[in-house]
Structure 1
Amino acid sequence: MPTSSFAIIIPARYASTRYPGKPLVSLRGAGGEAKTLIQRSWECAAAVEGCSGVWVATDDDRIADHVAGFGGQVVMTAESCANGTERCADAIARLGDVADIIVNLQGDAPLSPSHIVSDLVARLDSEPALTMATPAVRCSRSVYAHLAEDAANGRVGGTTVVGTSKDRALYFSKRLVPYLPEKDALAEFPPISLHLGLYAYRPDALRLYNAAPASQLEQLEGLEQLRFLDLGLAVGLLHLDPLAWDSIELNNPSDVPVIERILAERGIA
């Protein structure tokens, strides 16, 4: 268990380039009950033990009103925030000193198990040299197939990550990395690590990040975490065994029925 205090911020914007209005997309769970993506993300965060507070950070009144409607807390942030990490940095600048560690639970990963958050904070606790930590899970064959199908059809799917033997991140990509020979690609658990949409930061790292310009790789890949690597900051990986279910993110409309199927199979209302 972590020793540091931590708060969870869920960045949410309406004007997504790939999927406008994504936080307010409805997902039907077991029994047919529909809840929005942002409400499911909030419920995931609220289930984390030991958290000192949960806020949705947004610049959109539609999202803010919806969150307030189901009893969530909102912090309004600037429209100029280019990504979730910048939005988290803006949020803590407005909220003040809310915790030792800030967790960014991205609102497109409603299938992430809640225990990962406390494990992630503990990972950051364990190594003072780390400025940020993020989880990676070994792909199952079905998750690998889902990512490969997205790539083959020109869709941007999940993010993969490669790291060192000491669990430091080397690179993140929206491509499948590393390259796999066919025999490895056909394995039950291909040697590909799927990056899950959670980050744990030290507040000072967020301030450094926000003061720096976007890096070229960050802009090309559309992955905010690459700015930490460009700045030479140490990013720790929390390696997870394959989950008992496919942790699919909501990146495209075609992901909705896949996520709804998994919600039904897991009995999540």
Structure 2
Amino acid sequence: MKTAIIVPARYASSRYPGKPLAELRLPDGSRKSLIRMSWEAACRVPGVDGVFVATDDDRIKDAAEGFGADVIMTDSACENGTARCADALARAGIAPEIVVNLQGDAPLTPPDFVSALIEVLRADPEVQVATPILKCDRAKYDGLIADRKNGLVGATTAVPDHHGDALYFSKEVIPWLPADVAASDDIPVFHHVGVYAYRPAALAAYQGWRVSQLEVLEGLEQLRFLANGMKVRCVEVAGQGRQFWELNNPGDVARIEAALEAG
């Protein structure tokens, strides 16, 4: 197995308990659970050898097996999706060259975003972790700012260096912009799309590190890599007019349904 996608899902979300089983309305009026839509998004990625749902909850396990997913039961102590992917890899006894974490709250993730990460790891053996970033257009930037003004914590922003490696990730909208730049059409803010590709060695290292203070403060698992000196390659992808909202808060259901309706 060269490439595997793992879809981590937990029931006990602090901001949205039971989130993976939340149902979204599709354009045809039918409804599907968030975990099913995320699994289907993973299945659309070409050239992948296996797709697995990783969870510690029997309700999610039963739902996922009901729509045909392969499920790996993981430790309930896994504190985030990266840790759950590492645990799933060890428990399943599989040894892919590349592991993709397509989080169970990201059903709008296009296959080409995931393919771009896989291609970067295949092309450069020095890259241990890769994740997509998307330059904000006006609508996205204004939405991020509005959320923060309303006290909502959701989408993440990323600041890459000149080589494409992450300097930092934050739940705040960074970098801070002067008023004239914030009002321009060229907004130098990158939305971080919550998908990761790792080499198994990076996952093993992650499991051996203690939880970092930045990771706790921001609630962002990828900061453990940066805190321990491991680079995270930011791969810029093209939005092509598509909106990418993860389901972080109950109010995001309407945003995702609107994006699905818009096609």
Q: How many Å separate the matches in 2 of 1:158 and 1:188?
A: 20
When residues 247 and 97 of structure 1 are mapped into structure 2, their CA distance, relative to the original with a 3 A threshold, is same
More deviation, 48-57/118-127: 118-127
Q: Partner letter of residue 66 of structure 1?
A: A
Structure 1 residues not aligned, in runs of 5+: none
**SS of the counterpart of 2:42?**
helix
Q: What pairs up with 1:50-199 in 2 under 5 angstroms?
A: 50-199=47-196
Q: Secondary structure at the match of 2:120?
A: helix
Q: Deviations over 1:85-128 (max 9, x none)?
A: 00000000011234100000011111111111111011122222
Distance, in Å, in 1 between the alignment partners of 2:241 and 2:189 is 17
> RMSD over aligned Cα, in angstroms?
1.1
- Counterpart code for 1:71: G
Q: Name the counterpart of 2:252.
A: 255
Question: What secondary structure is seen at the aligned counterpart in 1 of 2:28?
Answer: helix
1:14 aligns with 11
Q: Does 124-133 or 197-206 show the bigger shift?
A: 124-133
Task: Decide whether the 8 Å contact of 1:137 with 1:243 is kept in 2.
Answer: no
| Residue 138 of structure 1: how far off its partner (Å) | 0.5
Alignment partners' CA distance in 1, 2:157 and 2:206: 21
Misfit runs of 4+, over 4 Å: none
Structure 2 distance, partners of 1:124, 1:215, is 25
CA deviation after TM superposition for structure 1 residue 224, in Å: 0.4
Q: Which amino acid aligns with 2:128?
A: T
Under a length normalisation based on structure 1, what TM-score does the superposition of the two structures give? 0.95
Q: Percentage identity across aligned positions?
A: 51
Structure 1: distance between partners of 2:151 and 2:189: 20
Normalization by structure 2: what TM-score? Answer: 0.97
Aligned length: 263
Paired with 1:76 and 1:189, the residues of 2 have a C-alpha distance of 45
Residues 130-176 of structure 1 show CA distances to partners (whole Å, capped at 9, x for unaligned) of 21000000011111111111100111020000011110111000000
Q: CA deviation at 1:264?
A: 1.1
Query: Could you tell me whether the CA contact under 8 Å between 1:85 and 1:104 is conserved in 2?
Result: yes
Contact 1:41 1:109 in 2 (8 A): yes
